[in-house]
Amino acid sequence: MAKLTFHGHATVSIETDDGTRIIVDPWFDENPLSDVKADEIGKVDYIFCTHGHTDHFADAIPLAKRTGATLVSTFEIASFAETQGVENVHPMHIGGGFDFPFGRVKMTPALHGGKVHGDETGAFTTVPGGFLFKVDGLGLYHAGDTALLGDMRFLEGQVDVALLPIGDNFTMGPDDAVRATELIHPRVVIPIHYNTWDLIAQDPEAFRKKMGDRARVEIMAPGDTIPLS
């Protein structure tokens, strides 16, 4: 059974049944909520980045270079990573999917900013996204940083577990995350991207109450691990 570990903010790691280790949006060293530092991360096979902002991408390139992991993101971010010495990249883009050895991944739309951390030229600015993972028979949706999108309704029936931002200000807030849940109909929602700074302070228990019986809300502290079932 696959399992998911939350590392604070929007950073998660996934370990599949076959032992594949995946990290999504790695931000460890400067993340005030992280349970680990980047150099404490061991084996990594894939790094998925929803977009290029510092709090989702800052540790992606050094981690990929150290571990040899394949960095997966938009064509522009993958191309930038290559200029920084990352040897293994897999470019994708919104609406496209690919059958990786561990399962299928589709890149989904998100509505947010496109700056790429570390790109001083601005040549690699890109669109943000999310990822829909099909791993060990389960659908896992990491929404990335996004506003509420009507296109989320097209994910209905494909998502068992949804990681949704609730911080407001930069992304969806709790009310819109509830509305997103009504469009997607996952069984489980894990709130992310909140309480890192005062600007995105939220009460996850209040969010759980707002959700009601629409989905089960799993509130995870940094370092917590749950089975994906």
- 64 in a domain, yes or no? yes
Exposed, middle or buried: residue 213 (CB in 10 Å: 0-12, 13-18, 19+)? Answer: exposed
Mean pLDDT within 55-61: 96
- Give the per-residue pLDDT at 112: 80
Reported as a single tens digit per residue, the pLDDT across 79-122 is: 999 999 999 999 999 999 999 999 999 999 998 877 767 766 66
- 156 in a domain, yes or no? yes
Whether residue 29 contacts residue 38, with contact meaning beta carbons closer than 8 Å, is answered with yes
- 91 in a domain, yes or no? yes
* Number of domain units in the chain: 1
Mean pLDDT, rounded, of the chain: 95
Measuring CA to CA, how many Å separate 27 from each of 30, 50, 63, 140?
7, 12, 10, 20
The whole model's pTM is what? 0.95
Residue-number span of the structural domain to which 25 is assigned: 3-218
Mean pLDDT within 13-27: 97
Reported as a single tens digit per residue, the pLDDT across 170-213 is: 999 999 999 999 999 999 999 999 999 999 999 999 999 999 99
The residue ranking higher by pLDDT, 154 or 1, is 154
- 227 in a domain, yes or no? no
Instruction: Output the six-digit token pair for 69.
Output: 């992991």
Cite the DSSP H helix spans in 68-162. Answer: 75-83
| Number of CB atoms found within 10 A of residue 123's CB | 11
- 229 in a domain, yes or no? no
- 223 in a domain, yes or no? no
CATH code assigned at 132:
3.60.15.10
- Give the per-residue pLDDT at 121: 66
Angle between helices 204-211 and 174-184 (to 10 degrees): 40
Percentages of the chain per state (helix, strand, coil), in multiples of 5: 25, 25, 50
β-pair partners for 3: 15, 227
Reported as a single tens digit per residue, the pLDDT across 113-171 is: 777 677 666 655 778 999 999 999 999 999 999 999 999 999 999 999 999 999 999 99
- 114 in a domain, yes or no? yes
- 224 in a domain, yes or no? no
Exposed, middle or buried: residue 165 (CB in 10 Å: 0-12, 13-18, 19+)? Answer: buried
Angle between helices 60-67 and 75-83 (to 10 degrees): 60
